[in-house]
Amino acid sequence: MVDFVTGASVFAIDVLSRVVHVGTAMALVGGSLFMAVILLPSLGVLTEQSRQDLVGSVRDRWRRFVHGGIGLFVVSGFYNYFRAMPSHKGDGLYHALVGIKVLLAMVVFFLATVMVGRSSNFNSLRVNPGKTLRLMLFLSLVIIFISGFVKVRGN
């Protein structure tokens, strides 16, 4: 009985971790896509002061999602990876691709943090937010492709 309960608990945590990871990706990538293709082009019809007010308000609200989402990604990602490791022992391609995925994710996390940040050191990345958002979205798409490939290719 104890093994069944333990197994069911681990399964529930596995499912929850996967849902958190994918759900966080949906929210953050979707939010970035919204900003790149809907919000930024719409800012052109506003006065400079209205534009600054709106961008500041969006940045303040989005910051909480970005920081919380990065935390959820890291925790659920490491959990998912450590749970998958026994199935991929000696699988160099799997580990290489997941390593690339993690490195790309770190770049996206950095850019996302810069975009919602206040440091003047990174104003050059915020001057043309569309360019930075497009780079983030491209890298996110590469991460999604890698994720899909390693998930369906088998062991």
44-99 pLDDT, tens digit each: 899 999 999 999 999 999 999 999 999 999 999 999 999 999 999 999 999 999 99
The answer to whether the beta carbons of residues 80 and 21 sit under 8 Å apart is: yes
The torsion angles phi and psi of 117, rounded to 5 degrees, stand at -85, 180
Q: What is the rounded CA–CA span in Å between residue 27 and residue 100?
A: 22
1: confidence class by pLDDT, cuts 50, 70, 90:
very low
Q: What is the rounded CA–CA span in Å between residue 69 and residue 75?
A: 10
In tens, the pLDDT along 17-56 reads 999 999 999 999 999 999 999 999 999 899 999 999 999 9
The model's pTM: 0.89
pLDDT at residue 3, as a whole number: 56
pLDDT at residue 155, as a whole number: 67
Query: Mean pLDDT score of the chain, rounded to an integer?
Result: 92
Q: Which residue has the higher pLDDT, 129 or 6?
A: 129
pLDDT at residue 8, as a whole number: 80
The answer to whether the beta carbons of residues 36 and 134 sit under 8 Å apart is: yes
Q: What is the DSSP string of the chain?
A: -HHHHHHHHHHHHHHHHHHHHHHHHHHHHHHHHHIIIIIHHHGGGS-HHHHHHHHHHHHHHHHHHHHHHHHHHHHHHHHHHHHHGGGGTT-HHHHHHHHHHHHHHHHHHHHHHHHH---GGGHHHHHSHHHHHHHHHHHHHHHHHHHHHHHHS--
